[in-house]
Amino acid sequence: MKHDETLREMIQDSSSIVFFGGAGVSTESGIPDFRSQDGLYNQQYPYPPETMLSHSFFISRTQEFFSFYKAKMLYLGANPNEAHKALAELEKRGKLNAVITQNIDGLHQKAGGKNVLELHGSVHRNYCMSCRRFYGVEFIIESKGVPLCECGGVIKPDVVLYEEGLDEKIIRRSVKAITGADMLIVGGTSLNVYPAAGLLRYYQGSKLVLINKSVTPLDSLADLVIHESIGRTLSDAC
């Protein structure tokens, strides 16, 4: 039996699917995975992205942070791909309970997704570090240099930087969603990034599907492994 057919049957038999996705879901919308070392950043910037996207760098070199962030982390012209659309459609049909994502681009919501748990935050939310007022991403783009609140405080993107912890509430909701899932589809992640592998341990069912172009350390634990495009695979199976 072809993989796509197996996947389609698994989805048909499920009513509380959870999807867990990584950077590979967004690369098919043209958003590069900054963790893949292609030398691009090293040519243009004096530090690796892990440094420029760290909390200490944000605090100590805020202007340089925003210069990098605006140039390399904001892809507002990007559109949802087949993966985002298929998952939103499954949610609308009442078969999918939650999308847990490591991406910060908001593309699941742009595709119509409702219950999206953003482990690493979202570029679309930004808040004043002094008065907590929220700002949209347009405000960041239009600001020259460091974006400042009308109160004078520095506005910080609501994304989890290196050295920062994840939102405990989002973690708890993710654990709950995965624990209650009758099918868990994991896609577009090498499962090397914290806390991906740890979260998957909460899944108790017998339909763990991994969709990733390359091999992951958890392939042997999965009930179905598909090494193909996440967008094509999901649109064919849904």
Determine the interface stretch with Zn ion among 34-42, 72-80, 116-124, 144-152 (rule: CB under 5 A).
144-152
Question: In terms of CB distance, is 124 or 156 closer to Zn ion?
Answer: 156
The nearer residue to Zn ion, 131 or 146, going by C-beta atoms, is 131
Q: Which of 40, 141, 146, 151 binds Zn ion (CB under 5 A)?
A: 151
Which residues contact residue 208 at a Cβ distance below 8 angstroms, ignoring those fewer than 6 apart? 184, 186, 200, 221, 222, 223, 224
Amino acid 156 reads K
- C-alpha closest to that of 18 among 95, 113, 89: 95
Q: Which of 99, 117, 128, 199 binds Zn ion (CB under 5 A)?
A: 128
154 binds Zn ion, rule: CB under 5 A: no
Taking the complex as a whole, the smallest distance from the CB of residue 59 to Zn ion amounts, in Å, to: 17
- The residues that are catalytic are 120
CB of 154 to Zn ion, least distance (A): 9
Number of residues that bind Zn ion (CB under 5 A): 7
Q: Which of 112, 153, 180, 205 touches Zn ion (CB under 5 A)?
A: 153
Closest separation between CB of residue 127 and Zn ion, Å? 8
Give the 3-state secondary structure of residue 19. Answer: strand
Tell me the closest approach of the beta carbon of residue 63 to Zn ion, in angstroms: 18
The DSSP secondary-structure symbol of 185 reads E
Out of 40, 76, 131, 215, the only residue in the binding site for Zn ion (CB under 5 A) is 131
3-state DSSP call for residue 138? helix
Per rule CB under 5 A, is residue 149 in the interface with Zn ion?
yes
Give min distance, CB of 135 to Zn ion, in A.
Answer: 9
Q: How far is CA 106 from CA 26, 66, 120, 139, 159, in A?
A: 10, 19, 11, 16, 12
Residue 13 burial (C-beta neighbours within 10 Å; 0-12, 13-18, 19+): exposed
Residue 230 interacting with Zn ion (CB under 5 A)? no
Which residue stretches of 148-205 are H helix?
168-179, 196-200
Angle between helices 230-237 and 3-12 (to 10 degrees): 60
Any contact of residue 155 with Zn ion (CB under 5 A)?
no
Does the footprint of Zn ion cover residue 130 (CB under 5 A)? yes
Q: Count the alpha carbons within 13 Å of 41 in the hemisphere toward its beta carbon.
A: 19
Residues between 28 and 57 that touch Zn ion (CB under 5 A): none
Residues forming contacts to Zn ion in the complex (CB under 5 A) are 128, 130-131, 133, 149, 151, 153
